[in-house]
């Protein structure tokens, strides 16, 4: 694995020892960033199931300002920190060992909001939509935020729910990637005024 493009292009990334982590391949990573826009002009990124940290590091390399990386596994946390050091992004990233739900609670208390979110939960967990709705409810997303949801290709997520709308979907073998935009204002009509009701 390596950083595909940007500031740290070509830097190798360590993998997490053992078979418990399923890293996003360079091919899929490259495809994800070609779908969401190759480069960024700042913005905050969140990776809730960071694994090796590869997706958030790629976002930092391509111009994201800061990133928060979360994982429950101690080995993953060690690898993430090592990869951030190798790519010289330690000062632009925060790393936490926590599960996704608790991490969202902690981030909500800090009143942080994100422009780009990576969700790649273990395939046995089908909770991507639930986590996205939690982020919507707790104000963790900036308007126009992009959510990259990676999951088992045999599973289907809805095209729209809450204020999330599917923009792109691609399948790579047993991996599917869905790109959602979050636009809370779109599709909302203004409530009727008294004049409207009297008409």
Q: What are the residue ranges spanned by the domains of the chain?
A: 26-198
Architecture, CATH, for domain 26-198: 3-Layer(aba) Sandwich (3.40)
DSSP characters over 118-160: EE---TT---HHHHHHHHHHTT-EEEEEEEEEEEETTS---SE
pLDDT value of residue 186: 61
Average pLDDT, rounded, for the chain = 90
Q: What length does the chain have? A: 199
Per-residue pLDDT of the chain (199 residues; tens, 9 = 90+): 899 999 999 999 999 887 566 677 888 899 999 999 888 999 999 999 999 999 999 999 999 999 999 999 999 999 999 999 999 999 999 999 999 999 999 999 998 899 999 999 988 889 999 999 999 999 999 999 999 999 999 999 999 999 999 999 999 999 999 999 999 876 444 444 455 445 4
Q: Provide the pairing of β-strand 93-97 with 66-71.
A: parallel
Strands (DSSP E) found in 8-108? 44-47, 66-71, 93-97
Give residues with Cβ within 8 angstroms of 102, minimum separation 6.
none
Rounded CA separation 98/72 (Å): 5
pLDDT value of residue 72: 95
Burial of 127 (0-12, 13-18, 19+ CB in 10 A): middle
pLDDT value of residue 20: 64
Rounded CA separation 146/179 (Å): 7
């Amino acid at each position: 694995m390596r950083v595909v493009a940007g500031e740290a292009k070509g830097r190798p990334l360590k993998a997490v020892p053992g078979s418990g982590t399923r890293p996003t391949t360079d091919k899929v990573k490259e495809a994800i960033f070609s779908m969401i826009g190759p480069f960024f002009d700042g913005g905050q990124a969140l990776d809730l199931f960071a694994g090796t940290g590869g997706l958030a590091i790629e976002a930092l390399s391509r111009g994201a300002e800061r990133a928060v990386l979360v994982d429950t596994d101690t080995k993953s946390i060690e690898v993430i920190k090592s990869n951030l050091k190798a790519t010289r992004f330690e000062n632009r990233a925060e790393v936490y060992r926590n599960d996704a739900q608790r991490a969202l609670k902690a981030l909500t208390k800090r009143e942080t909001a994100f422009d780009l979110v990576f969700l790649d939960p273990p395939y046995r967990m089908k909770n991507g939509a639930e986590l996205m709705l939690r982020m919507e409810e707790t104000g963790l997303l900036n308007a126009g935020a992009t959510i990259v949801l990676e999951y088992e290709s045999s599973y289907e997520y809805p095209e729209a729910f809450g204020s999330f709308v599917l923009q792109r979907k691609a399948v790579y073998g047993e991996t599917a990637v869905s790109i959602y935009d979050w636009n809370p204002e779109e599709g909302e009509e203004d409530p009727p005024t008294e004049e409207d009701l009297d008409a």
